[in-house]
Amino acid sequence: MLSRLGALLQEAVGAREPSIDLLEAFVEHWKGITHYYIESTDENTPAKKTDIPWRLKQMLDILVYEERQQTAAGEAGPCLEYLLQHKILETLCTLGKAESPPGMRQQVFQFFSKVLAQVQHPLLHYLNVHRPVQKLLRLGGTVPGSQTEKEEVQFTTVLCSKIQQDPALLTYILEGKKIVSRKKSSKEPTTLPREAASIQDKDRSHSKAADVSACAAQALSTQPPAEMEEPDGRAGESNLIASLIGLCKSKKGRVALRAQENLLLLVSVASPAAATYLVQSSPCCPAVVEHLCQLYQSVPAFLDPADIATLEGVSWRLPSAPSDEASFPGKEALAAFLGWFDYCDHLITEAHTVVADALAKAVAEKLFVEILQPHLLHVSEQSVLTSTALLTAMLRQLRSPALLREAVAFLLGTDPQPAAPDDGPRTLCAHLIGHCDHLSDEISIATLRLFEELLQKPHEQVIRGLVLCNLEGRHYVARGSPEPESYEDTLDLEEDPYFTDGFLNSSFQPSAKPPPAPATNSDGKTAVTEIVNSFLCLVPEEAKTSAFLEETGYDTYVHDAYGLFQECSSRVAPWGWPLGPTPLDPHEPERPFFEGHFLRMLFDRMSRILEQVANRTGP
């Protein structure tokens, strides 16, 4: 009895509340928006205080609900078809551009973002979707401090996510209409005409709306390609790239960070075709590098290397220095440059190989060669000092293999050859080596730090170009070399009483008979103890780091040297170097040995160590 009563009540409620016609409701809300512009007399009323946001929300809810009720997957419903055929997005884009009423652009950005994000049916392939998307992108990202930056970055987030899911969408978002018009004949008619015709089959009761939709679809499918071009005739524009770069310059930290993440998502597309298109048919790489060069040129030309070193930990996710660091003129500009350089390095690391190589080459060409190299070769000592310190800071932050390869090629050349003693400073590397022995101690120290940072990079060309290039031929070994030096010869130095203080805890007596010679290796290697102790005799006491430790013998130095050797061995392991030296060719004529300009510079500076210490301790 109760069940029958419940059924009767449900039937009565259903009879009194008929089902809502979604298409009719959708059209009614759209007409309500258009009627506002006809009936409204106050043009200064903000959009938030009108019923436009509510009607746009209702239209979005209808589209989402309609899609959920669709039985056939991948088929557009009547409301979505009405949206496409009546160019509603085009009209909204025009209203947003006019900012009528005030704040309308913000509402349009929100509606576009939500429609593209919540409607699962592929939309960006349609001409009446990606064309207004391109126009809307042109409205944003161009004016710093825009009131719609938050909505703009959310809009680009949706677009980049869609491109990440389907890289084929990249061409629809980036390219101009002249290119799209050539593709229209093969892509558009397979979708829109069929879906337009379905309105007449499904919604006979809405004859007026169906007739309008069918006429619009027929006009769309028969219009000439010339109508598909941009009004200003520009083709191949990349409004998404320009919008992202503009948002990356925002003063709002969250907006800039979100835009950088979106650009990172865009360049990491997995499709080789999309990556190639991004490089060849968009200003992605030039725009990123142009901003990098602008930030570099905004850095003051006179900076203390010590101040530059304080910003070592600047990251693109946190481009400002710690607040407890001392402030100095140009700190914000320097932090902005190093933060964007770190972002470029991260961008190259995460990007597709095609994009990474192109972006790395653009950085090398525009920043290293065109801007940085003239400063390194400038006659002004301050210009040389600042640019050298900045280059050292960049090398310290550099992690991407592609950009490291370009930086090494910039500093050392692409194919370094063995140098001769009389070679002049024809290359940048030769000039920098000369700066290591500059009249200005500041320039010498800054350049030595540059090479120190360069030698720590995991790139084979660095070691080969600076050190091994002149050593591979083994010209330091005399042809037909004599037998290994006897052990007694190594003790001649020890008989000098001056060196006895270097042997700690030793019972060495100058007049005593030397101990029996230990067994020596066939390769002539002497004991490590004598070598290290002989070196310690030359090092001033204040320069010995082990003097502050409990163990003041050579063991500490051997331990440190062994650690450095292990570190270098692990670094060079992937390079496949031979474990033994190259055999000498007895028939090759003997040539004078030259260690190379870099090693000669180091040896020359080492030979003057005692002289420098004497000058400092003298009267």
Tokens for 551? Answer: 């163990």
Do 228 and 181 contact (CB within 8 A), yes or no? yes
Q: How far apart are CA 351 and CA 338, in angstroms?
A: 20
Please give the Cα distance from 179 to 63 (Å, whole number). Answer: 30
Neighbouring C-alpha atoms within 13 Å toward the C-beta of 239: 22
Read off the pLDDT of residues 332-356 as tens digits, 9 standing for 90 and up.
999 999 999 999 999 999 999 999 9
Residues 360-392 have pLDDT tens digits of 999 999 999 999 999 999 989 999 999 999 999
- Are 35 and 27 within 8 A, CB to CB? no
CA-to-CA distance for 375 and 140, rounded, in angstroms? 36
Cis peptide bond prior to 167, omega within 30° of 0: no
Q: The whole model's pTM is what?
A: 0.77
How far is Cα 320 from Cα 334, in angstroms, rounded to an integer? 9
Sequence-distant contacts of 167-171: CB under 8 A, at least 24 apart: 167/269, 167/270, 167/271, 167/273, 167/274, 168/271, 168/274, 169/124, 169/125, 170/269, 170/274, 170/277, 170/278, 171/274, 171/277
Task: List pLDDT tens digits, range 523-569.
Answer: 445 566 777 777 777 777 766 665 555 555 667 777 888 888 888 88
Reading the block at residue 569, the tokens are 């061995």
Helix (H) or strand (E) holding 451: helix 441-455
Computed over every residue of the chain, the mean pLDDT equals 78
The Cα 188–Cα 82 span in angstroms is 16
- Three-state secondary structure readout of 294-324: HHHHCCCCCCCHHHHHCCCCCCCCCCCCCCC
Q: What per-residue string of b and e applies to 561-573 under the rule 16 or more CB within 10 Å gives b? A: eeeeeeeeeeeee
| CA distance between the termini of the chain | 119
Quick one: how many helices (H) and strands (E) in the chain?
30, 0
Residue linked to tokens 């619009």: 216
pLDDT at 150 over 60: yes
Tell me the pLDDT band of 596, cut-offs 50, 70 and 90: confident
**Dihedral over alpha carbons 3, 6, 11, 16 (to 10 degrees):** 180
- For the ranges 39-48, 53-62, 466-475, the maximum mean pLDDT occurs at 53-62
State the number of CA atoms in the 13 A half-sphere of 9 facing the CB: 6
Q: Rounded to whole angstroms, how far apart are CA atoms 513 and 509?
A: 8
pLDDT at site 470? 79
Q: Per the structure block, which two tokens stand in for 519?
A: 């067994």
Name the helix (H) or strand (E) containing 68.
helix 52-69
Mean per-residue pLDDT, 266-291: 92
